[in-house]
Structure 1
């Protein structure tokens, strides 16, 4: 059944049986037969032809999300069972700004795959996390930076945006009340420079990197703050051009591992990469 669903998804992605067969390294006839078998099993037509492409029929649209989930679960199961079991501890350095957005899912999957490995989090600003990595204070590091350093992999590029509370007026005040990170926060100098170039006067409301006080100031309507778009909680809103705030640059989410990591650290790094790939956030670069 999983193989049939995998072929179904390949046809969806490729828009036809021929590209699906090539992606799955099988003959076109075999791919067509698998689609036919799946349709016979389900008692419905999954595709309709539009020109030279196959598009989803209504039944195929209903199947798509469940097929993706089942194939993903099957792949995770196979990966877990084939992966050797490790013991020990891995110290993962993560900045405050992305720990809530990306890390919980990674840790849950890694814990299921490697239940005998302890993961300790080193939560600091990206600059501090990289210092910890160089000094041996952590084994792996996720960072948010404007560039990717030596031996780093860029897993995702995301834009820094201004964030406020819905219906709030903090962005209208002069000077602008801003929640900024600590002096080591990589967002702080970027936001200050952008405000300076725009000629916008500002005052600091909160100058810590931990997100709880930053979020509290935003939620109370006391300040705006620069956050990565992917880390903005649903209860806040991204402020657009009408807020008269300067545009902010893109940042890269990077993964760093020192030479010769432990087997457990290598496996955790693979889980980190897989999490971004699964979410459609594939790695886009590697610096030697």
Structure 2
């Protein structure tokens, strides 16, 4: 097996993260033909196809899934080695807007690693709801943004699916002949509409027993047993469980999350965006 070229690995990971060659080409600022050629070259080196192709795009096959964590580690080590050898660190300030669901979970380890490697880059973290963040981004008040794709008119650098799962306190028993006690986010949250539409489609009998204005409020309401609430997997609090999919329980709700960069964003902002997408344990799981 020949050496794995970091340029080929970067194209490979970009296709995995975005799901299409076109999207990867845009993220890498290259042509579609160039990225396709890189993927074919990497598959030649690996001696096997790395993707399953369908009309919807590309997904890593068994061989691709084996290569993926190694590719991410290789690129991370390559970046660290270049920085340490040169002794140069980026300087500047990055304003990152992010919904609470990710700021409180997956983002912590990623930003810790970034901060350790780039101590001279100052991070301003703006935690708010999807619509508030989208408005700030449109006003060029954020360099980077992580939020619901339906709230932003721009093309994301990376987009990934999440599911709002129905979560309940582990020891709470829901009686089939009683209305489901449901905790909802307030009207300011765009997920509320999608959750209510899903509940309506399920034709289940339910009552809203509590409104939660923040993720902390939602987690608290569920933990104390007020009712069931919609949450992504990363934010499920201790002592709680996901309701199994049955005719007596509502179905999960699909949402899309995107990472966005302001047009003309600084070098350090673009570097942080790239760092967040290639780190092990990254935002998209």
Distance 1:274 1:72, change over 3 A: closer
CA RMSD between the two structures: 3.9
- In the alignment, does 2:100 pair up with 1:96? yes
TM-score normalised to structure 2 length: 0.67
- In the alignment, does 2:205 pair up with 1:205? no
Unmatched runs of 5 consecutive residues or more in structure 2: 7-40, 48-69
Distance 1:92 1:239, change over 3 A: same
Conservation of the 8 A alpha-carbon contact between 2:72 and 2:278: no
TM-score normalised to structure 1 length: 0.66
Distance 1:172 1:107, change over 3 A: farther
Distance 1:70 1:248, change over 3 A: closer
Question: Aligned runs of 1:23-38 on 2, under 5 Å?
Answer: 23=42
TM-superposed CA distance for 1:84, in Å, is 5.1
- In the alignment, does 2:45 pair up with 1:77? no
Match of 1:189 in 2: 193
1:132-153 residue CA offsets vs partner (Å, 9 max, x unmatched): 1111322110013458742213
Report how many aligned residue pairs link the two structures.
232
Question: Aligned runs of 1:1-288 on 2, under 5 Å?
Answer: 23=42, 74-75=77-78, 77-78=80-81, 80-81=83-84, 85-145=89-149, 149-169=153-173, 174-197=178-201, 198-209=203-214, 211-233=215-237, 235-242=239-246, 244-275=248-279, 279=282, 281=284
2:46, 2:193 → 1: CA distance?
A: 56
- Larger of the two Rg values belongs to structure: 1
For 2:270, what is the secondary structure of its paired residue? helix
